[in-house]
Structure 1
Amino acid sequence: PRAAEVLVSEAMALVGTLPGWAVRDCVLLRSRNPGSKFVFGKGNFKTLTGKLKTSPRLSAVFVNMERLTVAQEICLEEAWGLPVLDRYSLVLRIFQLHARTREAKLQIALASIPLMRSRMRKEHKHLDQQGGGSRYLKGPGETALETQRRVLEQREQRLRRALGTVARKRSLLRSQRSRAELPVVALVGYTNSGKTTLARALTHDLSLEPHDAVFATLDVTAHAGLLPGRTTALYVDTVGFLSRLPHGLVHAFSATLEDVLHSDVIVHVRDISNTDTERQRDTVLHVLAQLGLSEAARSRILEVHNKIDLMPHFSPTCWVTSHVSALHEWGLEELKERVQEAVLIATNKAVMELSIPLEGEHSSWLYREAAVQDVRVIPESSTAHVSVIISQAALGKFYKRF
């Protein structure tokens, strides 16, 4: 089936992300009972085992399931004589590769705890099978397994406390942005959809380094860019989403992705050249729902179709969607206009035409408290017609003062 082939292709791309890793072979097998000890039915398992035994230079097997149980890992590794990875452990390795900030590293460390628990149980099962090696005491009446569990629990508590501190700092930063009246535009999308390239094109921030790889962006970063009305917006570049992203990893990164929930505008960047773009779209919306974004907020998302340069015969099918090539900077002015419209609605601002005297503090006040768009001087009346983007609160202050 087409859906299965797409998932296999994506799984191969995941493996290829890791330096020095390559897919030697790929097998697509049906499993009627994936919860069984050997995952596959007897016939498929026998076929797969035979193939692995005759394949040279293999170092691991990746089973494209969200999580394997400890019992399944033990059975498969004993049968194949190779380490066995599931989707959780593979994606976690990729996350570890791309983490840069302390926050991302803390989140990955927290997401690693379930994996460490699984390994711990696996090791002790092996010891038990070899004659009860895990029974000896390690403390006052405490087995080695109990000691390791306690150490892991303490580590998990420390990580959660550290992430709680990070979350409070993020909350403080958000309140500072709010006081400065800087609108926040969050860029979300499937991994490798071009979010970082678009953020760079919109802000001309050369510190942004786009990479053609899954999860190339793992840390959430904010970059200032000018909108057409000469107001500054903060574009927030976020971690890419992935279909069947293990549930534990979604929650590990929920602190980072809170910036999306608190943004004024969400821009969903889609790789429209990808044949699987509709499923990718559904995945992104599903993850946003998992994170707690309301249905009303999801309905207001601005959708951007990126990578139209990869479609030589591209023809827009939806005129309420922006069509761009972030790489070649096509369609960006129209996108900025749409972002500005959405920002004005979200922040309760409006474009106003005001008539002010040439003398007095009116002009300097407006330049300080609003975004002045245009000024037309009327000499005969000693006035100026000023076009401004201004909040309702600032407009009230203006009328009260003048």
Structure 2
Amino acid sequence: MLNLRNIGRVFKGCVPLIRPIHISPCVQDDEPLSENVKELLTSDSEYNKLVDHFCHIKTAHRCLVIQPYVKWGPSKLSISPEEQLSEAVALIQTLPSWSVEETLRVPLDSLDRKSLFKSGSMEKIRNMVLKRNDISAIFINSGTLKKATVEILQENFQRPVLDKYKIVMQILKEHATSKHAKLQVALAELYYIQRKSEKELYFKTYSSEALRLMFQSREKKIKEEIKQLRNQRNLLRKRRQKMDYPIIAVVGYTNSGKTSIIKVLTGEKSLQPKNQLFATLDVTVHEGDLPSGLNVLYVDTVGFISDIPANLVECFVATLEDALLADVIIHVEDISSESYDYKRKHVLDTLERLEKQSEGKDILSKVIPVGNKCDLLKEKHFDQDLLLVSAQKGIGLDELKQQLEDFVLFVTGRKKITIRIPTGGEEIRWLYKNATVLNEIPDQEDLQFIFAKVIITQSSLQKFKSYFI
């Protein structure tokens, strides 16, 4: 406990218990699309022909959703085909005006068959599709189908056949609103077109060299714009660091309840969870406080989903970079899911992979695992380190807030200390401005002094000592 002499003038007036946070409740780290970016993305008419041919889905579809799955062997996934199918349906329902008319789960021996399905399954699906006028397209919930496979399936079903890459690309284009998100989607689209055009002779007027130069020029321009925006993001992060607010990122598999957790931790009533995949591609920051009153910022991120092709993962790096550089990461896990273990591993593996290509260090050591939806829990055994909560029912949230506070204090080097200072002096005003004042208790032996209990960083404590001791 520090004892200080009264060397400051008397501070008159009422002082709030907790210093206010000077940001809006929800902050997005990006600007609307600028004219130069609009021109970059729309001006190249020759490239846009390629986009129309390979990527553009010209109409909303009424879909048959097919979930192929391997029954046994090393290619079998631990996530159930039922949950995979549920994700596939959610993808389609995320697109405006699209609908799911029918679903099928089709067991396979291997995903490597050129036609994907065996003759018996192919015939069964074909007969069903050709009898249904309400089905306008087939969505095969598989990462990226080979061109030959798509051609065989379309010939059999007489309908457009879409894979996960194409559907996710469509969703990303619908939801990308900021410069960064639109540029990342454009880059993923470029890689897709580049790979497809190498195998197709549709555009016979283009030489391979002309295509290569077109792609190379566009990729360079997009990456230059992305680099500038990342520099801006770094400045925003540094600004937040200068504000000295701890950053808590919230990550998790899609529909695990990330936004619901943020809503209950911040009390932000306007925050409405959406039952959509990739509802936002942009970073949003939300103000909250911990039990002591310490102000923190919660960073919301895009939900993880299985079997996303590598090029598309780049579209999500913008939000995940903020997670990697946060002080603490809450990993929200839906423990009511039958595929809980698979989803947990998928999120942690992705974080670890992204760590290797970013500035983030020791990412997994900053993770607090939180098992959400415990009110829906059937009998299961979980790791003792997993904190069980329910954002909907309010279960376990006080314990979560306390764990977050303890973790934040530890990783940011903040300390809870009690300082003896003059009553109404300059010292208490400085502390309210530069630390979190928990309470003030009069010194009963000398009422000219108070005991101020505060949370303070090491650097602020050193400044305090230099100013007042």
Pairwise TM-score range, normalised by the shorter structure? 0.7 to 0.9
428, 431, 441: which one aligns with 1:376: 441
Q: Supply the RMSD in Å over aligned alpha carbons.
A: 2.7
The residue type equivalent to 2:451 in the other structure is H
Paired with 2:195 and 2:136, the residues of 1 have a C-alpha distance of 21
Paired with 1:323 and 1:172, the residues of 2 have a C-alpha distance of 36
- Mapped pair 1:338 → 2:415: no
Paired with 1:70 and 1:114, the residues of 2 have a C-alpha distance of 15
Query: Which residue does the alignment assign to 1:349?
Result: 414
The residue type equivalent to 1:56 in the other structure is N
Contact persistence 2:370–2:386 (CA under 8 A): yes
The residue type equivalent to 2:346 in the other structure is T
Query: Which residue does the alignment assign to 1:297?
Result: 363
Paired with 1:67 and 1:192, the residues of 2 have a C-alpha distance of 23
Query: Which residue does the alignment assign to 1:58?
Result: 135
Q: Which structure ranks higher in relative contact order (CA pairs < 8 Å, sequence separation ≥ 6)?
A: 2
Query: Which residue does the alignment assign to 2:324?
Result: 261
TM-score for the superposition, normalised by structure 2:
0.75
Structure 1 pair 359–32 and aligned structure 2 pair: CA distance change class (3 A): closer
Offset from partner CA, 1:138-193 (integer Å, 9 cap, x none): xxxxx366544433332222221111111111111111111221111000011111
Structure 1 pair 106–342 and aligned structure 2 pair: CA distance change class (3 A): same
Paired with 2:158 and 2:100, the residues of 1 have a C-alpha distance of 18
- Mapped pair 1:212 → 2:285: no
Question: How many residue pairs are counted as aligned between the two chains?
Answer: 387
Identical counterparts, % of pairs: 36
Paired with 2:110 and 2:397, the residues of 1 have a C-alpha distance of 49
Q: CA deviation at 1:267?
A: 0.4
SS of the equivalent of 1:372 reads: strand
Equivalent residue runs for 1:173-322 within 5 Å: 173-292=236-355, 296-310=362-376, 320-322=385-387
- Mapped pair 1:163 → 2:240: no
The residue type equivalent to 2:440 in the other structure is V
SS of the equivalent of 2:371 reads: strand
Query: Which residue does the alignment assign to 1:69?
Result: 146
Q: Which moved more, 1:315-324 or 1:367-376?
A: 315-324
Q: CA deviation at 1:260?
A: 0.8
Contact persistence 2:291–2:402 (CA under 8 A): yes
Contact persistence 1:308–1:323 (CA under 8 A): yes
SS of the equivalent of 2:105 reads: coil
Offset from partner CA, 1:74-116 (integer Å, 9 cap, x none): 3332333221111111122222232232222221121112332
The residue type equivalent to 1:99 in the other structure is A
Paired with 1:47 and 1:40, the residues of 2 have a C-alpha distance of 10
Paired with 1:332 and 1:95, the residues of 2 have a C-alpha distance of 33
SS of the equivalent of 2:80 reads: helix
User: Which structure carries more helix by proportion?
Assistant: 1
Structure 1 pair 77–223 and aligned structure 2 pair: CA distance change class (3 A): same
Structure 2 spans left out of the alignment, 5+ residues:
1-70, 72-78
Offset from partner CA, 1:179-230 (integer Å, 9 cap, x none): 2211110000111112112222222334433112222233221111122222
Q: Which moved more, 1:65-74 or 1:282-291?
A: 65-74
SS of the equivalent of 1:23 reads: strand
Structure 1 spans left out of the alignment, 5+ residues:
128-133, 137-142
Equivalent residue runs for 1:39-118 within 5 Å: 39-118=116-195
Contact persistence 1:202–1:225 (CA under 8 A): yes
Q: CA deviation at 1:393?
A: 1.7
Contact persistence 1:99–1:218 (CA under 8 A): yes
